[in-house]
Structure 1
Amino acid sequence: MGHREDLLEGAKRCLLEKGYARTTARDIVAASGTNLASIGYHYGSKEALLNLAFLRLTEEWGDVATREAEGEPDIEAAAPLDQFRVAWERVIGSFEQSRAVWQLQMEVVSRIHSDPELQKALVGPQREGRDGLAENMLGIDPETDPERSRVAGLFCQALLAGVMVQWMMDPDSAPSAQDLMDGLKVALEGRPTEGGTAG
């Protein structure tokens, strides 16, 4: 790898070990075996490098969380609710190996209000991420059905943020994939009428 790639890999390691706020340029240099001048030359600033490193980490997490396990049935062939459940089993099942990424995401969200450049860097990838969630969790193709993909992605993204917070705070009571599917069913059924059926 060249210095550019070394810096990016070093920044990713630092983010996972130290978080966004505590990572210094010297930390990145030490982790990458490069020099301070390389950061400015290749990325313009430490912040630009960290922003890109954060985006790469979330992309890699998404690849792991949505990857089909060997021998697992084709998720796209499943009924929508089963597809939803299987997708969430993958996400929740990745919690232990992805804990550092989830912690990092919480930290980055808390920084957005005071860091306009970070917010600007995340806008495009966040929108792309919604399409990816709609496709991976609900089988909706953003190319052929952009509006359904948009609203489904918004729903999945909101749910993902809430699930992350619950698993970070209290894994013992955090939702399982089955809980999420059952909760979705209850929400779709609506409030029971006096006779005990949904209306």
Structure 2
Amino acid sequence: MGTREVLLAAAKQCLAERGYARTTVRDIVTASGTNLAAINYHFGTRDKLLNQAMMESSADAVQQILDSLPAHDAADPTARLLDFFQQLITSFSEQHALWTANAECLTQALHSPELRAELGSGQQQARAGLADLFGPGVADPQLGAVLQTMLGGLLNQHLVDPEHAPTATDITAGLRTLATLLSPADQRPG
């Protein structure tokens, strides 16, 4: 791994442990075993390094979402959704640093047009992948949008209070209840 990659890995680690505002160049230098000149040479500034680390973390998080999609051979839509949410929730705990950095990235994107554009692109990619959750014959962009919206809230709950956050079973049961409450007459365009 080259110096640039070592710096990025250290920046991702610092983002997950300290957050954007509290991560200093000294933290990154200590975590990477490099020096300040390496940050300046490869990225120019701390902010550019952290923004790159956040963009990569966001891309990794989108890939985690897409990798959590079950194979298309599942015949039972409920089992498919349950499996997807379970894999994703497991990822929240097993890849905690990745998801923490992703949440940090969302806040910082409010102040960086470049980061906001990168995240927007990642969100579009995730929505498109999620639209295909139940197979190509059922692909629906609105389904992708709803699932992407739910994932943001689910991630926040698991990062803030994992002991009380909804399980895959809770979410699937809640969606089933919601579906029974919505009749075709309640569905209005736009």
Q: Same fold (TM over 0.5)?
A: yes
Residue 159 of structure 1, aligned match among 138, 150, 156: 150
CA distance in 2, matches of 1:175, 1:153: 20
Question: What is the letter of the counterpart of residue 131 of structure 1?
Answer: A
CA contact (8 A) 2:66 2:126 kept: no
- Identical columns (%): 37
Residue 119 of structure 2, aligned match among 116, 119, 122: 122
Larger RCO: 1 or 2 (CA < 8 Å, sep 6+): 2
2:77 is matched with 80
2:90 is matched with 93
CA contact (8 A) 1:130 1:157 kept: yes
CA distance in 2, matches of 1:106, 1:92: 15
Moved more, 120-129 or 54-63: 54-63
Residue 185 of structure 1, aligned match among 144, 158, 176: 176
Displaced runs of 4 or more, over 4 A: 61-68
Q: Which runs of 5+ in 1 are unaligned?
A: 69-73, 193-199
Say if 1:7 and 1:86 are closer, same or farther in 2 by CA, change over 3 A: same
Report how far residue 128 of structure 1 moved: 1.8
CA distance in 2, matches of 1:24, 1:62: 27
CA distance in 2, matches of 1:45, 1:120: 20
- Residues 117-164 of structure 1: CA distance to partner in whole angstroms, max 9, x if unpaired? 4323322222223223344x44459xxx6xx2x333221111011112
Aligned residues: 181
Question: What is the letter of the counterpart of residue 41 of structure 1?
Answer: Y
Question: What is the letter of the counterpart of residue 30 of structure 1?
Answer: T
2:130 is matched with 133
CA contact (8 A) 1:66 1:87 kept: no
Secondary structure of the residue aligned to 2:123 is helix
Report how far residue 103 of structure 1 moved: 3.3
Secondary structure of the residue aligned to 2:95 is helix
The two structures have a TM-score, normalised by structure 2, of 0.76
The two structures have a TM-score, normalised by structure 1, of 0.73
CA distance in 1, matches of 2:124, 2:63: 17
Question: What is the letter of the counterpart of residue 153 of structure 2?
Answer: G
